[in-house]
Structure 1
Amino acid sequence: MKKDQSLTRRKALMAGAGALGAPAAAGLLTPGPGGEAGPPAAPAPGPPARRPREPSAYRLQPLAGHGPPAAPGRPPVRRAPLLRLSGLGRAMVLTFDDGPDPRYTPDILRTLREYDVRAMFFVCGEMAAGHPGLLTEMAEDGHVVGNHTWSHPLLTRLSRAAVRTEMESTSDLVEEVCGARPLWFRAPYGAWNRAAFQLGAELGMEPLAWTVDTLDWTEPGTRTIVDRVEGGAGPGVVVLAHDAGGDRSQSVRALRDYLPHLLDAGYHLTVPRRHQV
């Protein structure tokens, strides 16, 4: 998202599609420095795209283990956001922030659908309120809808009460539209503070950051975005991209390029799962 854009134009936090419940995230994702260990996971338009493969089960199923799901409950209060997946082979997660935007989000959803891939959308309440149909489409396609606050503010400059309002209002909207509250939260600009971690846990959400930043909001060129994703690909990687906040045509084109390449390289593009609280 362009940093000089007014905050009222920035997107608000949104929620994880609660219908995708399962093991606690802490065992599936690695916290950043200073992060506390959480409960263990239950083993659980651009160039034409290549011809999509036939649907395969591993791309249609969110990350899960092999045992019974963990009991639902409030997530731990962390001191750092989760950064990446751990211990699940060649799995990667694609995430898109700041939307939904009717100019770009539909194209991203179509591409993901074409390749039977699920992703995470960290939405801003402000944007979602104006385009609830796109929120519904995300949830119906099996994507995770996460909370990215209401108006995309810098949380470190807000009072605790204001942080709560930003987060809670977005969760309320997501629940109203999707039928479940979000289970994941991402702080705008990656600016976390104690209030964000505490209130996020209070609202039933795990904090998720990223491993690879495409910096697509700077509009560096489609090829550069593709190179950053493919160059940073690896087991457990969480990719940050955007579907709103500015001209995201490069992000749309880049997805159509790198997504089939990642699949051809044997990566599982999927989403983490945890219990609805």
Structure 2
Amino acid sequence: MQKDQLFTRRRMLLAGAAALGAAGTAGLIVAGADEEGTPTAASAPAPGPQARQAPLKSSAFRLQPLTGGAPPHSVPRRLKVRTEPIFRISEHGRQMMLTFDDGPNPDYTPHILDTLARHDVRAMFFLCGECVEANPHLVARMAQDGHVVGNHTWTHPLLTTLDRSEIESEMERTSHIIEKTYGELPQWFRAPYGAWNKATFQLGAEMGMEPMAWTIDTTDWDTPGTGVIIDRVERGAAPGVVILSHDAGGDRSQTVAAIQKWLPHLLDSGYRLTVPNRRV
């Protein structure tokens, strides 16, 4: 309980700063970069409303879960160091992206995964290492269902209060356990509370992860009510936005109820929900 209250207090302080950053970076798209900083493919569209009439074959979108053949602790590909996170994706084809932080959690994550599966939609999940350790079967399901996972540190600390070695440990331990349970190293990182600093950008690039922020904060972390969450998503919906929700870190029953309403509304409105391409 104390940890959940601390999450809420810190988020309230940092939400304003994150929103200001998003407004100043509206032109950015989701894109990888090689060692020389050359952009790679931006995103692969996930199925929208059309897919509900003609679902993709599993081989067209599903990841291969780890079966013991992949070596643990692979060497990550180093990326160009960014100076700010990515806040938006390409607006092409009325694309949007759904993201969930702080999980996985056995009480809420399965319901969110069920809703996404029902509508044949992929999302990004930014995972905390300690939650992955406790719920590896949920991460395996994310891989099986074709979702993309990212690194959200091991214990969800405020990274700007830690020294570089402590930040590195939080990020590295999480990448390793994600590789073990998901089947590959994460290629995306999100700083808890949206609190970024130079070390997080540098270490993320060294570990092969691009920094991902968000455009719309549903404020579900503050449990404002299911109706408020639905309204924030539907009013903020626009091509290129990245939606922030949470599947852990507190009571997320409102999040579970809200997505059952706003997700079909977005699809019926013609939005396509996408996840980033996997680099090869």
Which bin holds the TM-score, normalised by the shorter protein? 0.7 to 0.9
Q: 1:179 to 1:126 in 2, by over 3 A?
A: same
Offset at residue 43 of structure 1 (A): 7.4
| Other-structure match for 1:162 | 166
**Paired residue secondary structure (2:165):** helix
Where do residues 116-131 of structure 1 align in structure 2 (5 Å cutoff)? 116-131=120-135
| Residue pair 1:84, 1:237 contacting (<8 A) in 2 also | yes
| Other-structure match for 2:104 | 100
Tell me the distance in 2 between the aligned counterparts of 1:260 and 1:152: 31
Tell me if 1:4 matches 2:3: no
1:101-120 CA deviation, whole Å, 9 max, x = no partner?
00000000000000000000
Tell me if 1:54 matches 2:56: no
Tell me the distance in 1 between the aligned counterparts of 2:102 and 2:125: 8
Tell me if 1:175 matches 2:188: no
**Paired residue secondary structure (1:39):** coil
**Paired residue secondary structure (1:136):** helix
| Residue pair 1:124, 1:152 contacting (<8 A) in 2 also | yes
| Letter in structure 1 aligned against 2:134 | G
2:196 to 188, 192, 196: 192
1:262 to 253, 259, 266: 266
**Paired residue secondary structure (2:229):** helix
2:143 to 139, 143, 154: 139
| Residue pair 2:96, 2:271 contacting (<8 A) in 1 also | yes
1:220 to 221, 224, 247: 224
| Letter in structure 2 aligned against 1:205 | M
Tell me the distance in 1 between the aligned counterparts of 2:42 and 2:173: 33
RMSD, aligned CA: 2.6
Offset at residue 39 of structure 1 (A): 2.6
2:236 to 214, 232, 247: 232
Tell me the distance in 1 between the aligned counterparts of 2:28 and 2:221: 31
1:20-61 CA deviation, whole Å, 9 max, x = no partner?
xxxxxx984289xxxxx95333377xxxxxxx932455xx75
Q: Where does structure 1 lack aligned partners over 5 or more consecutive residues?
A: 7-25, 32-36, 45-51, 63-71
1:206-240 CA deviation, whole Å, 9 max, x = no partner?
00000000010110010110010011111110000
| Letter in structure 2 aligned against 1:161 | S
Q: Where does structure 2 lack aligned partners over 5 or more consecutive residues?
A: 9-26, 44-50, 63-75
Offset at residue 5 of structure 1 (A): 5.3
| Letter in structure 2 aligned against 1:239 | I
**Paired residue secondary structure (1:167):** helix
| Residue pair 1:2, 1:245 contacting (<8 A) in 2 also | yes
Identity level (%): 58
Tell me the distance in 2 between the aligned counterparts of 1:172 and 1:54: 38
| Letter in structure 2 aligned against 1:79 | T
Tell me the distance in 1 between the aligned counterparts of 2:31 and 2:42: 15
| Letter in structure 2 aligned against 1:89 | G
Higher RCO (CA 8 Å, separation ≥ 6 residues): 1
What TM-score, normalized to structure 2? 0.78
**Paired residue secondary structure (2:78):** coil
Tell me the distance in 2 between the aligned counterparts of 1:91 and 1:273: 14
Offset at residue 178 of structure 1 (A): 1.6
**Paired residue secondary structure (2:275):** coil
Equivalent residues, number:
235
**Paired residue secondary structure (1:121):** strand
Q: 1:30 to 1:177 in 2, by over 3 A?
A: closer
What TM-score, normalized to structure 1? 0.79
**Paired residue secondary structure (1:29):** coil
| Letter in structure 1 aligned against 2:175 | S
Tell me the distance in 1 between the aligned counterparts of 2:96 and 2:85: 17
| Letter in structure 2 aligned against 1:29 | V
| Other-structure match for 1:19 | none
**Paired residue secondary structure (1:84):** coil
| Letter in structure 2 aligned against 1:155 | L
Tell me the distance in 2 between the aligned counterparts of 1:186 and 1:3: 20
Offset at residue 273 of structure 1 (A): 1.2
Where do residues 196-207 of structure 1 align in structure 2 (5 Å cutoff)? 196-207=200-211
Q: 1:81 to 1:125 in 2, by over 3 A?
A: same
